A and B are shown apart, each in its own frame.
Chain A
Amino acid sequence: MQFVISMHINPAVLDALTDEEKAALGEGHGRFIQALKESGELITTQALADPSQAAVVSVRNGQPVVTDGPFLEAKEYLGGFYLIDCENKDRAIELAAQIPDTAIEGLGVEVRQVMFADGLLEA
């Protein structure tokens, strides 16, 4: 079963971390990625640039209209995700709990099952 584990980050919370805490966060993700690669459960992972760099695109009267993002007026934004293939939802949750963000108040980690996939990743 495939799941997306998404990391919802709050830039203010990240900014408030000490350098040591930031380094520990990065190392935690590094270890997590390595373990997922070795167990054969990682499909891919990506981290996104800061939400302040987002462009919001809409089309009005056939013309594209581009405004500065982010689209959502929220404190938290999608910071990145893991796409994994594992035994079941329980295992996906067990894996999500190993992500260092889960231990930091104000950062959100969400597990959702994949319903449809296409592209060149799947083999």
Chain B
Amino acid sequence: MTTPGLEDLLRELAPQVLGTLVRRHGRFEDCEDAVQEAVLAATVQWPAEGVPDNPRGWLATVASRRLVDQMRSNHARRGRESAAATAEVLPEAVPGTDDTLVLLFLCCHPALTAPSQTALTLRAVGGLTTAEIARAFLVPEATMAARISRAKQRIKAAGSSFSLPGGAEREERLRVVLHVLYLIFNEGYTASSGRELDRADLAYEAIRLARMVHAQLPGDGEVTGLLALMLLNHARRRARTSAAGDLVPLDQQDRAKWDRALIDEGMELVKASLAGPALGPYELQAAIAATHADAATAAETDWPQVHALYLILERIAPNPMVTLNRAIALAETEGPRAGLALLSTLDGDERMAGHHRLLSVRAHLLEKTGDTARAYQHYRRAARATASIAEQRYLESRATRVRPPRPLP
């Protein structure tokens, strides 16, 4: 294991070195392996021998040698030599360019599945090792290595060039990049299964990558919105679980535990993005998170504003989860029965059939109307439907609170 400072430095330099190498040689897939090997070599050598004066140059040199070795052995295998290809090269940085975006677009190639996009992004742009990514996703290293290798084969087969796409394609691809960063963040924010409610490392990586994109595209409202959304959610991480590891819902969180610095930064970004033209889904979700962050107590939450924002979100990006969240806001402004009425519009939606979130929100609203018998049933059904142990424990405890008294014998 390396020291944190060293780790940060390596993660920052890895994509820069990779970009330089790919510009020089093409062959993204081989360059990516070479950079990974250089990073691994650095994690062994630097703690023992000290960080070199020019760490970026060191990584570039080592990666280039690995690449040349690799090309030589490929050529030898094919029984022909190419002097040009095997010449020792020490690529220098291309002044004034940053390949982060180009790399991100490549790693989030639409030909890849989401797990492949996230894994490759974390390795090639995040500078994480395969072992670190495997640990974060709780799979064996060999599984993750195969996934990354397959992803690179796919990209090669798709014949992608190392350049930013133009026009409408660029917009479309940027949306995929943002979605992948959002998936990485969410994986860290709430593990989709298992005991850990919070895998902070992945959330931290997602924020770091979103900052990199924001630095490149400060004028893009959705990039700003996504970064703000991550910061505002991440700010609540210490309040989200109790000392015993139980889930604490937003209205019961100790707001003194929220990270003020992250909230302030997130709020500034929300203000900046709201000043821009047409609002996108991330900007709206960030604005909703900012409304919550703005309330000193849960009781002071500006629910009419939260509801209005969900209404706009529902209009521009219709999705049953958005309607579900709007029902929570509506219940706060117009009462639980209004919320339940809105929930009933989701009953025919097969994406939501038996979904634990629909069951648990309905349980909460039923509890608020005083219908504890049905609230109990819904909490129990929701607890069975979730694959998160923390969420299940929370739902079971809510169920116990509204459990109807047993009839006397």
**Residues of A bordering B, CB below 8 Å:** 1-2, 37-44, 85-87, 91, 113-117, 121-123
Known: A87-B114, A117-B194. A40 touches B150 (CB 8 A): yes
Q: Looking at the assembled complex, report how far the CB atom of B385 sits from the nearest CB atom of chain A, in whole angstroms.
A: 11
Q: Report B394 CB to chain A, min CB distance, Å.
A: 14
Cα A41 to Cα B115 in complex, Å, equals 9
15 contacts between A and B (CB under 8 A): A1-B192, A38-B150, A39-B147, A39-B150, A40-B144, A41-B147, A86-B115, A91-B113, A113-B387, A114-B194, A116-B194, A116-B195, A116-B389, A121-B140, A122-B135
* A115 near B141: Cβ-Cβ < 8 Å: no
Q: Which residues of B pack against A, CB within 8 Å?
A: 113-116, 119, 131, 134-135, 137-141, 143-150, 192-195, 387-389, 392
The answer to whether B193 and A85 touch across the interface, beta carbons within 8 angstroms, is no
Which B residue sits closest to A120, measured CB to CB?
Answer: B140
B140 adjacent to A1 (CB under 8 Å):
no
Other-chain residue from A37, A44, A123 in contact with B131 (beta carbon distance below 8 A): A123
**B193 to A113, Cβ gap below 8 A?**
yes
Residue of A nearest to B145 (CB): A40
B contact residues around A116 at 8 Å (CB): 193-195, 389
* Interchain nearest-CB distance for B138 vs A (Å): 4
Judged by DSSP, the binding face of A is loop
- Shortest CB distance A76–B (Å): 24
Q: In the complex, A23 Cα to B387 Cα: how many Å?
A: 37
Contacts of A1 in B (CB 8 A): 192-193, 387
Q: Which of A1, A85, A116 has the most CB of B within 10 A?
A: A85
In-complex Cβ contact of B138 among A44, A87, A113, A123 (8 A): A123
In the assembled complex, which residues on chain A have CB atoms less than 8 Å from the CB atom of B144?
40
Question: Provided the pairs A85-B115, A87-B113, A123-B131 are in contact, do residues A115 and B389 lie with their beta carbons within 8 angstroms?
Answer: yes
By the criterion CB–CB under 8 Å, are B193 and A40 in contact?
Answer: no
Contact A38 B192 (CB under 8 A): no
Q: What residues of B have a CB within 8 angstroms of the CB of A115 in the complex?
A: 193-194, 387-389, 392
Give A96 Cβ to nearest chain B Cβ, in Å.
17
Cα A114 to Cα B194 in complex, Å, equals: 8
In the docked arrangement, what's the CA distance between A38 and B151, Å? 10
Q: A115-B387, A121-B140 are in contact. List 9 more A-B contacts (CB 8 A).
A: A38-B146, A39-B147, A40-B145, A41-B143, A87-B114, A115-B388, A116-B193, A122-B134, A123-B141
The distance in angstroms between the C-alpha atoms of A1 and B183, with both chains bound, is 12
Task: State how many angstroms separate the Cβ of A40 from the closest Cβ of chain B.
Answer: 2
Pick from B114, B149, B150, B193: contact of A114, CB under 8 Å: B193
Q: Is the CB of A85 within 8 A of B150?
A: no
| CB nearest to A114 among chain B residues | B193
A39-B146 in contact given A87-B113, A115-B193, A122-B139 (Cβ < 8 Å): yes
Partner of B143, one of A40, A87, A113, A114: A40
Determine the residue in chain A with the shortest Cβ distance to B114.
A87
Q: Is the CB of B147 within 8 A of A122?
A: no
**Residues of A with C-beta under 8 A to B135:** 122-123
CA distance A7 to B388 in the complex (A): 25
In the bound complex, CA of A43 to CA of B140 (Å): 7
The interface residues of chain B lying within 8 Å CB-to-CB of A85 are: 115, 137-139, 143
Residues B192 and A123 in contact, CB atoms below 8 Å apart: no
Are B146 and A87 in contact, CB atoms less than 8 angstroms apart?
A: no
Question: Could you say which of B114, B116, B131, B392 contacts A40, with CB atoms under 8 Å apart?
Answer: B116
Instruction: With both chains docked as a complex, state the minimum distance between the C-beta of B212 and any C-beta of chain A, in angstroms.
Output: 25
**Whole-angstrom distance between the Cβ of B169 and the nearest chain A Cβ:** 24
| Chain A nearest CB, measured from B350 CB (Å) | 12
In the complex, what distance in Å separates the CA atom of A26 from the CA atom of B147?
25
Query: What is the CA–CA distance of A91 and B134 in the complex, to the nearest angstrom?
Result: 20
Q: Which residues of B contact A43 (CB under 8 A)?
A: 139-140, 143
